[in-house]
Chains A and B, each alone.
Chain A
Amino acid sequence: MKGYYARKIHSLLGLIPLSFFILTHAITNFAAYEGGQQGFRDAVTRINDLPLVIFLEIFVIWLPLLFHGVYGLYIAYQAQPNIGHFNTERNWRYVLQRVSGIIAFVFIVWHVYTTRFQILFGNATHDDLGGMMHQMVTQPAYFIFFTIGVIATTFHFANGLWAFLVSWGITIGPRAQRISSYICMGVFVVVTALFMLSLFAFRNEEFANTAQVFTTLKTLIG
Protein backbone atom coordinates (compact mmCIF):
# COMPACT_ATOMS: atom_id res chain seq x y z
CA MET A 1 0.00 0.00 0.00
CA LYS A 2 1.63 3.17 -1.23
CA GLY A 3 0.73 6.52 -2.65
CA TYR A 4 -1.51 9.43 -1.79
CA TYR A 5 -4.23 7.66 0.18
CA ALA A 6 -1.86 5.54 2.28
CA ARG A 7 0.02 8.68 3.26
CA LYS A 8 -3.22 10.52 3.98
CA ILE A 9 -4.46 7.67 6.20
CA HIS A 10 -1.09 7.65 7.96
CA SER A 11 -1.39 11.38 8.57
CA LEU A 12 -5.04 11.25 9.66
CA LEU A 13 -4.46 8.36 12.07
CA GLY A 14 -1.67 10.38 13.64
CA LEU A 15 -4.25 12.99 14.66
CA ILE A 16 -7.38 10.87 15.03
CA PRO A 17 -7.12 8.77 17.13
CA LEU A 18 -3.45 8.66 18.14
CA SER A 19 -3.04 12.28 19.22
CA PHE A 20 -6.21 12.05 21.26
CA PHE A 21 -4.96 8.84 22.80
CA ILE A 22 -1.66 10.45 23.81
CA LEU A 23 -3.53 13.28 25.50
CA THR A 24 -5.85 10.84 27.29
CA HIS A 25 -2.84 8.82 28.37
CA ALA A 26 -1.03 11.91 29.65
CA ILE A 27 -4.07 13.01 31.66
CA THR A 28 -4.67 9.52 33.08
CA ASN A 29 -1.04 9.25 34.15
CA PHE A 30 -1.12 12.72 35.62
CA ALA A 31 -3.70 11.40 38.09
CA ALA A 32 -0.74 9.59 39.69
CA TYR A 33 0.87 12.97 40.36
CA GLU A 34 -2.30 14.68 41.48
CA GLY A 35 -4.12 11.92 43.35
CA GLY A 36 -1.35 9.49 44.20
CA GLN A 37 -1.95 5.77 44.10
CA GLN A 38 -5.71 5.98 44.65
CA GLY A 39 -6.11 8.76 42.10
CA PHE A 40 -4.24 6.71 39.50
CA ARG A 41 -6.30 3.59 40.24
CA ASP A 42 -9.51 5.58 39.89
CA ALA A 43 -8.35 7.06 36.57
CA VAL A 44 -7.48 3.59 35.23
CA THR A 45 -10.84 2.27 36.39
CA ARG A 46 -12.61 5.20 34.73
CA ILE A 47 -10.96 4.32 31.40
CA ASN A 48 -11.83 0.64 31.78
CA ASP A 49 -15.44 1.48 32.59
CA LEU A 50 -15.87 2.90 29.09
CA PRO A 51 -18.39 0.89 27.09
CA LEU A 52 -16.95 -1.67 24.65
CA VAL A 53 -13.48 -0.83 25.92
CA ILE A 54 -11.83 -3.79 24.16
CA PHE A 55 -13.17 -2.61 20.80
CA LEU A 56 -12.04 0.91 21.55
CA GLU A 57 -8.60 -0.48 22.31
CA ILE A 58 -8.45 -2.56 19.13
CA PHE A 59 -9.87 -0.05 16.66
CA VAL A 60 -8.91 3.24 18.26
CA ILE A 61 -5.47 2.34 19.62
CA TRP A 62 -3.86 -0.89 18.46
CA LEU A 63 -4.73 -1.03 14.77
CA PRO A 64 -4.17 2.71 14.13
CA LEU A 65 -0.88 2.47 16.06
CA LEU A 66 0.19 -0.52 14.00
CA PHE A 67 -0.56 1.13 10.65
CA HIS A 68 0.91 4.48 11.65
CA GLY A 69 4.01 2.78 13.05
CA VAL A 70 4.72 0.37 10.22
CA TYR A 71 3.98 2.87 7.45
CA GLY A 72 5.99 5.44 9.38
CA LEU A 73 9.02 3.14 9.40
CA TYR A 74 8.66 2.93 5.62
CA ILE A 75 8.59 6.75 5.37
CA ALA A 76 11.68 6.95 7.58
CA TYR A 77 13.42 4.37 5.38
CA GLN A 78 12.75 6.50 2.29
CA ALA A 79 14.41 9.60 3.73
CA GLN A 80 17.90 10.68 2.75
CA PRO A 81 18.73 13.33 5.37
CA ASN A 82 21.07 16.17 4.37
CA ILE A 83 21.36 18.32 7.49
CA GLY A 84 25.08 18.61 6.76
CA HIS A 85 24.35 20.84 3.78
CA PHE A 86 21.04 22.36 4.94
CA ASN A 87 21.45 23.11 8.60
CA THR A 88 18.04 24.70 9.16
CA GLU A 89 15.44 24.27 11.87
CA ARG A 90 12.88 22.74 9.51
CA ASN A 91 15.39 20.29 8.09
CA TRP A 92 16.38 19.26 11.63
CA ARG A 93 12.75 18.72 12.46
CA TYR A 94 12.36 16.61 9.32
CA VAL A 95 15.15 14.36 10.60
CA LEU A 96 14.01 14.43 14.23
CA GLN A 97 10.45 13.52 13.21
CA ARG A 98 11.79 10.34 11.61
CA VAL A 99 14.31 9.54 14.36
CA SER A 100 11.77 10.19 17.14
CA GLY A 101 9.26 8.06 15.26
CA ILE A 102 11.64 5.09 15.24
CA ILE A 103 12.47 5.55 18.93
CA ALA A 104 8.76 5.92 19.75
CA PHE A 105 7.97 2.75 17.79
CA VAL A 106 10.48 0.68 19.75
CA PHE A 107 9.47 2.29 23.04
CA ILE A 108 5.75 1.81 22.48
CA VAL A 109 6.08 -1.83 21.41
CA TRP A 110 8.09 -2.52 24.58
CA HIS A 111 5.76 -0.44 26.75
CA VAL A 112 2.57 -2.10 25.47
CA TYR A 113 4.15 -5.53 25.89
CA THR A 114 5.21 -4.91 29.49
CA THR A 115 1.90 -3.38 30.58
CA ARG A 116 -1.25 -4.06 28.56
CA PHE A 117 -0.10 -7.40 27.20
CA GLN A 118 0.81 -8.69 30.66
CA ILE A 119 -2.78 -7.98 31.66
CA LEU A 120 -3.96 -9.76 28.52
CA PHE A 121 -1.80 -12.78 29.37
CA GLY A 122 -3.26 -12.81 32.88
CA ASN A 123 0.07 -12.02 34.55
CA ALA A 124 -1.23 -8.79 36.08
CA THR A 125 -4.38 -6.76 36.67
CA HIS A 126 -5.10 -3.11 36.03
CA ASP A 127 -4.69 -2.43 39.73
CA ASP A 128 -1.09 -3.65 39.57
CA LEU A 129 -0.06 -1.11 36.93
CA GLY A 130 0.96 1.60 39.40
CA GLY A 131 3.15 -0.84 41.31
CA MET A 132 4.71 -2.18 38.12
CA MET A 133 5.58 1.36 37.06
CA HIS A 134 7.06 2.04 40.50
CA GLN A 135 9.30 -1.01 40.21
CA MET A 136 10.57 0.09 36.84
CA VAL A 137 11.07 3.83 37.19
CA THR A 138 12.85 3.53 40.54
CA GLN A 139 15.67 1.87 38.60
CA PRO A 140 17.79 4.63 37.00
CA ALA A 141 18.28 2.78 33.71
CA TYR A 142 14.55 2.32 33.23
CA PHE A 143 13.89 5.89 34.26
CA ILE A 144 16.29 7.14 31.57
CA PHE A 145 14.75 4.76 29.05
CA PHE A 146 11.27 6.04 29.90
CA THR A 147 12.43 9.65 29.69
CA ILE A 148 13.91 9.13 26.22
CA GLY A 149 10.83 7.23 25.08
CA VAL A 150 8.46 9.86 26.44
CA ILE A 151 10.32 12.82 24.94
CA ALA A 152 10.66 11.10 21.55
CA THR A 153 6.96 10.24 21.52
CA THR A 154 5.72 13.65 22.61
CA PHE A 155 8.02 15.43 20.15
CA HIS A 156 6.81 13.17 17.36
CA PHE A 157 3.24 13.92 18.40
CA ALA A 158 3.66 17.71 18.62
CA ASN A 159 5.77 18.09 15.49
CA GLY A 160 3.47 15.68 13.69
CA LEU A 161 0.59 17.96 14.60
CA TRP A 162 2.43 20.79 12.85
CA ALA A 163 3.03 18.60 9.79
CA PHE A 164 -0.61 17.51 9.77
CA LEU A 165 -1.70 21.13 9.51
CA VAL A 166 0.60 21.59 6.50
CA SER A 167 -0.16 18.35 4.69
CA TRP A 168 -3.91 18.86 4.91
CA GLY A 169 -3.58 22.39 3.60
CA ILE A 170 -4.66 24.18 6.78
CA THR A 171 -1.51 26.22 7.43
CA ILE A 172 -0.35 27.41 4.01
CA GLY A 173 1.87 30.48 4.24
CA PRO A 174 5.17 30.80 6.13
CA ARG A 175 3.60 32.99 8.83
CA ALA A 176 0.80 30.52 9.56
CA GLN A 177 3.34 27.69 9.65
CA ARG A 178 5.59 29.62 12.02
CA ILE A 179 2.78 30.42 14.45
CA SER A 180 1.43 26.87 14.37
CA SER A 181 4.95 25.67 15.11
CA TYR A 182 5.05 27.87 18.26
CA ILE A 183 1.72 26.41 19.35
CA CYS A 184 2.82 22.84 18.65
CA MET A 185 6.05 23.33 20.59
CA GLY A 186 3.95 24.67 23.47
CA VAL A 187 1.89 21.47 23.30
CA PHE A 188 5.16 19.50 23.31
CA VAL A 189 6.31 21.20 26.53
CA VAL A 190 2.96 20.77 28.31
CA VAL A 191 2.44 17.11 27.37
CA THR A 192 6.06 16.23 28.15
CA ALA A 193 5.64 17.90 31.55
CA LEU A 194 2.49 15.87 32.25
CA PHE A 195 4.26 12.60 31.44
CA MET A 196 7.46 13.48 33.29
CA LEU A 197 5.60 14.57 36.42
CA SER A 198 3.71 11.29 36.43
CA LEU A 199 6.98 9.37 35.95
CA PHE A 200 8.35 11.16 39.02
CA ALA A 201 5.10 10.44 40.86
CA PHE A 202 5.45 6.72 40.13
CA ARG A 203 8.80 6.81 41.92
CA ASN A 204 6.93 7.67 45.14
CA GLU A 205 6.98 4.96 47.82
CA GLU A 206 3.19 4.82 48.06
CA PHE A 207 3.11 2.89 44.78
CA ALA A 208 5.46 0.26 46.20
CA ASN A 209 2.95 -1.73 48.25
CA THR A 210 1.04 -2.88 45.21
CA ALA A 211 4.20 -4.14 43.65
CA GLN A 212 4.35 -7.66 45.08
CA VAL A 213 2.83 -9.01 41.91
CA PHE A 214 5.74 -7.52 40.07
CA THR A 215 8.17 -10.05 41.46
CA THR A 216 6.43 -12.71 39.41
CA LEU A 217 6.85 -10.51 36.32
CA LYS A 218 10.43 -9.64 36.94
CA THR A 219 11.71 -12.36 34.70
CA LEU A 220 9.57 -11.05 31.88
CA ILE A 221 10.47 -7.40 32.11
CA GLY A 222 14.03 -7.93 33.16
Chain B
Amino acid sequence: MAETTNVPQTTQTTARRVKFVITRQDTPESKPYIEEFDLPYRPGMNVISALMEIQRNPVNSGGGTTAPVCWESNCLEEVCGACSMVINGKPRQACSALVDQLEQPIRVAPMATFPVVRDLVIDRNRMFNALKKVKAWIPIDGTYDLGPGPRMAEKKRQWAYELSKCMTCGVCLEACPNVNDKTDFIGPAALSQVRLFNAHPTGEMNAADRLDTLMEGTDGIEGCGNSQNCVRACPKGIPLTTSIAELNKQTTKRMFTRWFAQ
Protein backbone atom coordinates (compact mmCIF):
# COMPACT_ATOMS: atom_id res chain seq x y z
CA MET B 1 0.00 0.00 0.00
CA ALA B 2 0.98 3.64 0.06
CA GLU B 3 3.52 3.43 2.82
CA THR B 4 4.85 6.94 2.31
CA THR B 5 1.64 8.90 2.26
CA ASN B 6 2.80 11.00 5.21
CA VAL B 7 6.43 11.29 4.13
CA PRO B 8 7.42 14.19 1.83
CA GLN B 9 8.01 12.53 -1.50
CA THR B 10 11.01 14.67 -2.44
CA THR B 11 13.12 12.93 0.16
CA GLN B 12 11.90 9.46 -0.79
CA THR B 13 11.71 9.23 -4.57
CA THR B 14 15.36 8.38 -5.11
CA ALA B 15 15.44 5.54 -2.63
CA ARG B 16 12.05 3.92 -3.15
CA ARG B 17 11.67 0.90 -5.40
CA VAL B 18 8.57 -0.82 -6.72
CA LYS B 19 8.46 -4.57 -7.16
CA PHE B 20 6.52 -6.16 -10.00
CA VAL B 21 5.80 -9.88 -10.41
CA ILE B 22 4.71 -10.39 -14.00
CA THR B 23 3.25 -13.52 -15.58
CA ARG B 24 4.83 -13.77 -19.01
CA GLN B 25 4.33 -15.96 -22.04
CA ASP B 26 6.51 -15.90 -25.15
CA THR B 27 4.12 -17.38 -27.72
CA PRO B 28 0.40 -18.26 -27.73
CA GLU B 29 1.29 -21.95 -27.26
CA SER B 30 4.19 -21.74 -24.82
CA LYS B 31 3.92 -22.14 -21.07
CA PRO B 32 3.51 -19.03 -18.93
CA TYR B 33 6.32 -18.17 -16.50
CA ILE B 34 6.94 -15.57 -13.79
CA GLU B 35 9.50 -12.79 -14.01
CA GLU B 36 10.17 -10.20 -11.33
CA PHE B 37 11.19 -6.59 -11.82
CA ASP B 38 12.52 -4.03 -9.38
CA LEU B 39 11.77 -0.53 -10.64
CA PRO B 40 12.56 2.96 -9.34
CA TYR B 41 9.48 4.63 -7.89
CA ARG B 42 8.18 7.81 -9.48
CA PRO B 43 5.30 9.85 -8.01
CA GLY B 44 1.96 9.17 -9.65
CA MET B 45 3.18 6.14 -11.58
CA ASN B 46 0.68 3.58 -12.81
CA VAL B 47 1.10 0.04 -14.13
CA ILE B 48 1.46 1.28 -17.73
CA SER B 49 4.27 3.70 -16.84
CA ALA B 50 5.95 0.86 -14.95
CA LEU B 51 5.74 -1.32 -18.05
CA MET B 52 7.21 1.58 -20.05
CA GLU B 53 10.07 1.70 -17.56
CA ILE B 54 10.71 -2.00 -18.18
CA GLN B 55 10.65 -1.29 -21.91
CA ARG B 56 13.32 1.40 -21.48
CA ASN B 57 15.49 -0.78 -19.29
CA PRO B 58 14.55 -4.45 -19.70
CA VAL B 59 16.44 -5.84 -16.72
CA ASN B 60 14.76 -8.21 -14.27
CA SER B 61 15.29 -8.15 -10.52
CA GLY B 62 18.02 -10.79 -10.85
CA GLY B 63 19.99 -8.28 -12.93
CA GLY B 64 19.62 -10.23 -16.17
CA THR B 65 18.67 -8.54 -19.42
CA THR B 66 15.37 -9.84 -20.72
CA ALA B 67 12.92 -9.17 -23.53
CA PRO B 68 10.70 -6.18 -22.65
CA VAL B 69 7.23 -7.11 -21.43
CA CYS B 70 4.57 -6.73 -24.16
CA TRP B 71 1.23 -5.08 -23.43
CA GLU B 72 -1.51 -3.19 -25.23
CA SER B 73 -2.81 0.26 -24.45
CA ASN B 74 -4.31 3.22 -26.25
CA CYS B 75 -6.26 5.94 -24.51
CA LEU B 76 -4.61 5.88 -21.05
CA GLU B 77 -7.81 7.24 -19.52
CA GLU B 78 -9.90 4.10 -18.99
CA VAL B 79 -12.21 4.49 -21.97
CA CYS B 80 -10.72 2.23 -24.66
CA GLY B 81 -10.48 -1.08 -22.80
CA ALA B 82 -7.23 -2.18 -24.46
CA CYS B 83 -4.98 -2.38 -21.40
CA SER B 84 -7.14 -4.77 -19.35
CA MET B 85 -5.07 -7.21 -17.30
CA VAL B 86 -5.20 -8.98 -13.97
CA ILE B 87 -3.54 -6.77 -11.36
CA ASN B 88 -3.22 -8.22 -7.84
CA GLY B 89 -5.87 -10.77 -8.70
CA LYS B 90 -8.43 -8.29 -10.03
CA PRO B 91 -9.09 -7.79 -13.73
CA ARG B 92 -8.91 -4.03 -14.48
CA GLN B 93 -7.31 -1.42 -16.70
CA ALA B 94 -3.58 -0.96 -16.20
CA CYS B 95 -3.78 2.77 -17.01
CA SER B 96 -6.02 3.51 -14.02
CA ALA B 97 -4.14 1.14 -11.69
CA LEU B 98 -2.08 3.62 -9.65
CA VAL B 99 0.98 2.14 -7.98
CA ASP B 100 0.35 4.23 -4.84
CA GLN B 101 -2.95 2.42 -4.34
CA LEU B 102 -1.65 -1.10 -4.94
CA GLU B 103 -0.30 -3.61 -2.48
CA GLN B 104 3.27 -4.66 -3.19
CA PRO B 105 4.65 -6.69 -4.82
CA ILE B 106 2.33 -5.82 -7.66
CA ARG B 107 1.31 -9.00 -9.43
CA VAL B 108 0.42 -8.51 -13.08
CA ALA B 109 -0.94 -11.28 -15.30
CA PRO B 110 -2.80 -11.46 -18.61
CA MET B 111 -6.58 -12.04 -18.59
CA ALA B 112 -6.11 -15.71 -19.43
CA THR B 113 -9.83 -16.28 -20.03
CA PHE B 114 -8.89 -14.96 -23.47
CA PRO B 115 -6.20 -16.46 -25.71
CA VAL B 116 -2.85 -14.98 -24.66
CA VAL B 117 -0.90 -13.61 -27.64
CA ARG B 118 2.24 -12.64 -25.76
CA ASP B 119 2.94 -11.57 -22.18
CA LEU B 120 0.03 -9.29 -21.25
CA VAL B 121 -1.39 -9.04 -24.76
CA ILE B 122 -4.63 -10.97 -25.18
CA ASP B 123 -6.95 -11.59 -28.10
CA ARG B 124 -10.40 -10.16 -27.36
CA ASN B 125 -11.84 -11.23 -30.72
CA ARG B 126 -14.53 -13.38 -29.13
CA MET B 127 -16.10 -10.22 -27.71
CA PHE B 128 -16.28 -8.51 -31.09
CA ASN B 129 -17.65 -11.69 -32.66
CA ALA B 130 -20.27 -11.77 -29.91
CA LEU B 131 -21.34 -8.20 -30.77
CA LYS B 132 -21.69 -9.23 -34.41
CA LYS B 133 -23.64 -12.31 -33.45
CA VAL B 134 -26.22 -10.42 -31.40
CA LYS B 135 -26.41 -7.61 -33.99
CA ALA B 136 -25.35 -4.91 -31.57
CA TRP B 137 -26.13 -2.04 -33.91
CA ILE B 138 -29.06 0.00 -35.25
CA PRO B 139 -29.85 -0.89 -38.87
CA ILE B 140 -30.56 2.39 -40.67
CA ASP B 141 -29.15 1.76 -44.13
CA GLY B 142 -31.58 1.61 -47.02
CA THR B 143 -31.88 2.45 -50.70
CA TYR B 144 -33.69 5.66 -49.83
CA ASP B 145 -33.76 8.17 -47.00
CA LEU B 146 -35.68 6.48 -44.19
CA GLY B 147 -36.31 9.77 -42.43
CA PRO B 148 -35.94 10.42 -38.70
CA GLY B 149 -36.59 7.54 -36.32
CA PRO B 150 -38.92 7.62 -33.32
CA ARG B 151 -37.84 9.74 -30.36
CA MET B 152 -36.44 8.22 -27.20
CA ALA B 153 -37.86 9.16 -23.82
CA GLU B 154 -35.37 11.15 -21.73
CA LYS B 155 -35.79 8.81 -18.74
CA LYS B 156 -34.87 5.84 -20.89
CA ARG B 157 -31.98 7.69 -22.52
CA GLN B 158 -30.45 8.27 -19.11
CA TRP B 159 -30.10 4.60 -18.20
CA ALA B 160 -29.40 3.51 -21.76
CA TYR B 161 -26.47 5.92 -21.83
CA GLU B 162 -24.91 4.04 -18.92
CA LEU B 163 -25.04 0.81 -20.95
CA SER B 164 -23.45 2.57 -23.93
CA LYS B 165 -20.31 3.21 -21.84
CA CYS B 166 -19.21 -0.41 -22.41
CA MET B 167 -15.73 -0.44 -23.96
CA THR B 168 -15.55 -4.20 -24.61
CA CYS B 169 -12.59 -4.38 -22.23
CA GLY B 170 -13.27 -7.99 -21.22
CA VAL B 171 -13.04 -7.48 -17.45
CA CYS B 172 -16.56 -8.90 -16.92
CA LEU B 173 -15.70 -12.04 -18.88
CA GLU B 174 -12.50 -12.51 -16.89
CA ALA B 175 -14.44 -12.07 -13.62
CA CYS B 176 -17.22 -14.48 -14.62
CA PRO B 177 -16.83 -18.04 -13.29
CA ASN B 178 -19.01 -19.29 -16.13
CA VAL B 179 -16.82 -17.96 -18.95
CA ASN B 180 -14.21 -20.70 -19.32
CA ASP B 181 -13.03 -23.58 -21.51
CA LYS B 182 -15.93 -25.79 -20.42
CA THR B 183 -18.70 -23.42 -21.55
CA ASP B 184 -19.54 -21.31 -24.61
CA PHE B 185 -21.23 -18.55 -22.57
CA ILE B 186 -21.24 -15.32 -24.58
CA GLY B 187 -20.50 -13.25 -21.46
CA PRO B 188 -22.13 -10.24 -19.78
CA ALA B 189 -20.83 -7.50 -22.12
CA ALA B 190 -22.66 -8.61 -25.27
CA LEU B 191 -25.83 -9.35 -23.28
CA SER B 192 -25.91 -5.83 -21.91
CA GLN B 193 -25.51 -4.49 -25.47
CA VAL B 194 -28.57 -6.47 -26.52
CA ARG B 195 -30.51 -4.70 -23.79
CA LEU B 196 -29.14 -1.36 -25.00
CA PHE B 197 -30.07 -1.87 -28.64
CA ASN B 198 -33.41 -3.47 -27.79
CA ALA B 199 -34.21 -0.35 -25.75
CA HIS B 200 -33.45 2.01 -28.66
CA PRO B 201 -36.65 3.06 -30.47
CA THR B 202 -35.23 2.09 -33.88
CA GLY B 203 -33.14 -0.84 -32.64
CA GLU B 204 -36.29 -2.19 -31.00
CA MET B 205 -37.58 -3.09 -34.47
CA ASN B 206 -35.05 -5.95 -34.51
CA ALA B 207 -35.47 -6.88 -30.86
CA ALA B 208 -36.85 -10.35 -31.58
CA ASP B 209 -33.86 -11.25 -33.78
CA ARG B 210 -31.44 -10.35 -31.02
CA LEU B 211 -33.40 -12.32 -28.43
CA ASP B 212 -33.53 -15.35 -30.73
CA THR B 213 -29.74 -15.43 -30.99
CA LEU B 214 -29.54 -15.47 -27.19
CA MET B 215 -31.83 -18.52 -27.10
CA GLU B 216 -30.18 -20.70 -29.74
CA GLY B 217 -26.97 -22.75 -29.57
CA THR B 218 -25.05 -23.27 -26.35
CA ASP B 219 -23.56 -19.80 -25.87
CA GLY B 220 -26.73 -17.91 -24.96
CA ILE B 221 -28.07 -16.12 -21.90
CA GLU B 222 -28.66 -19.41 -20.02
CA GLY B 223 -24.91 -19.49 -19.32
CA CYS B 224 -25.31 -16.88 -16.56
CA GLY B 225 -24.83 -18.45 -13.12
CA ASN B 226 -25.70 -15.37 -11.02
CA SER B 227 -22.35 -15.00 -9.32
CA GLN B 228 -22.71 -11.28 -10.11
CA ASN B 229 -18.95 -10.77 -10.27
CA CYS B 230 -19.39 -8.91 -13.57
CA VAL B 231 -21.26 -6.01 -12.04
CA ARG B 232 -18.68 -5.74 -9.23
CA ALA B 233 -15.76 -5.83 -11.65
CA CYS B 234 -17.05 -3.52 -14.41
CA PRO B 235 -14.80 -0.43 -14.50
CA LYS B 236 -17.62 1.61 -16.04
CA GLY B 237 -20.18 0.70 -13.37
CA ILE B 238 -22.57 -0.74 -15.94
CA PRO B 239 -25.53 -2.50 -14.26
CA LEU B 240 -24.71 -5.78 -16.02
CA THR B 241 -26.77 -8.05 -13.76
CA THR B 242 -29.81 -5.81 -14.20
CA SER B 243 -29.29 -6.06 -17.96
CA ILE B 244 -29.09 -9.85 -17.76
CA ALA B 245 -32.20 -10.14 -15.55
CA GLU B 246 -34.10 -7.78 -17.87
CA LEU B 247 -33.05 -9.97 -20.82
CA ASN B 248 -34.14 -13.03 -18.86
CA LYS B 249 -37.55 -11.41 -18.79
CA GLN B 250 -37.44 -10.56 -22.50
CA THR B 251 -36.30 -14.04 -23.56
CA THR B 252 -38.86 -15.73 -21.28
CA LYS B 253 -41.61 -13.63 -22.89
CA ARG B 254 -40.17 -14.33 -26.32
CA MET B 255 -40.14 -18.08 -25.59
CA PHE B 256 -43.85 -18.11 -24.79
CA THR B 257 -44.96 -15.76 -27.58
CA ARG B 258 -42.95 -17.82 -30.06
CA TRP B 259 -44.57 -21.06 -28.88
CA PHE B 260 -48.12 -19.81 -28.89
CA ALA B 261 -47.84 -17.71 -32.03
CA GLN B 262 -46.71 -20.60 -34.20
Contacts and interface: CB of A to CB of B under 8 A. Distances in A.
Interface of A: 2-8, 75, 77-82, 84-86, 88, 90-91, 93-95, 163, 166-174, 177
Contact of B246 (A3, A7, A163, A169): A169
Given A86-B175, A174-B242, A75 B226 contact: no
A126 to B, nearest CB: 39
Given A86-B233, A173-B242, A4 B220 contact: yes
Given A82-B229, A85-B89, A86-B175, A169 B245 contact: yes
A78 B183 contact: yes
Contacts of A166: 226, 245, 248
A169 B241 contact: no
B248 A78 contact: no
Contact of A168 (B227, B241, B248): B248
B255 interface: yes
Contact of A79 (B177, B242, B248): B177
27 contacts: A2-B218, A3-B217, A4-B214, A4-B220, A4-B222, A8-B255, A75-B225, A78-B178, A78-B180, A80-B177, A82-B175, A85-B89, A86-B227, A86-B233, A88-B232, A90-B228, A91-B228, A95-B227, A163-B226, A166-B245, A166-B248, A167-B248, A168-B249, A169-B248, A169-B252, A170-B249, A174-B242
Contact of A86 (B214, B229, B248): B229
Query: What 9 A-B pairs come out closest when comparing CB atoms?
Result: A169-B249, A94-B227, A7-B222, A169-B248, A90-B228, A172-B245, A80-B180, A4-B215, A85-B89
| Most chain B beta carbons < 10 A, residue from A4, A81, A94, A170 | A4
A172 B242 contact: yes
Band of interface residues on B: 35 or more
A218 to B, nearest CB: 42
A158 to B, nearest CB: 14
A156 to B, nearest CB: 13
B250 interface: yes
Contact of B225 (A4, A88, A94): A94
Nearest to B91: A85
Residue among A82, A91, A167 with the most chain B CB within 10 A?
Answer: A167
B198 interface: no
Contact of A78 (B182, B216, B232): B182
Contact of A167 (B215, B216, B226, B253): B226
A79 B225 contact: yes
A166 B221 CA distance: 12
B236 interface: no
Nearest to B225: A94
B251 interface: yes
A86 to B, nearest CB: 5
A82 B91 CA distance: 12
B224 interface: yes
Contacts of B183: 78
A152 B103 CA distance: 37
Interface in B152-199: 175, 177-178, 180, 182-183
A164 to B, nearest CB: 10
A19 to B, nearest CB: 17
B145 to A, nearest CB: 38
A99 B127 CA distance: 30
Contacts of B175: 82, 85-86
B218 A94 contact: no
B90 interface: yes
Contact of A171 (B217, B245, B253, B255): B245
A3 B233 contact: no
A116 B110 CA distance: 53
Contacts of B178: 78-80
B4 to A, nearest CB: 27
B180 A84 contact: no
Given A3-B216, A172-B246, A174-B242, A8 B180 contact: no
Contacts of A81: 177
A90 B217 contact: no
Interface string B24-66: 0000000000000000000000000000000000000000000
Counting chain B CB atoms within 10 Å of each CB, which of A81, A84, A90 scores highest? A90
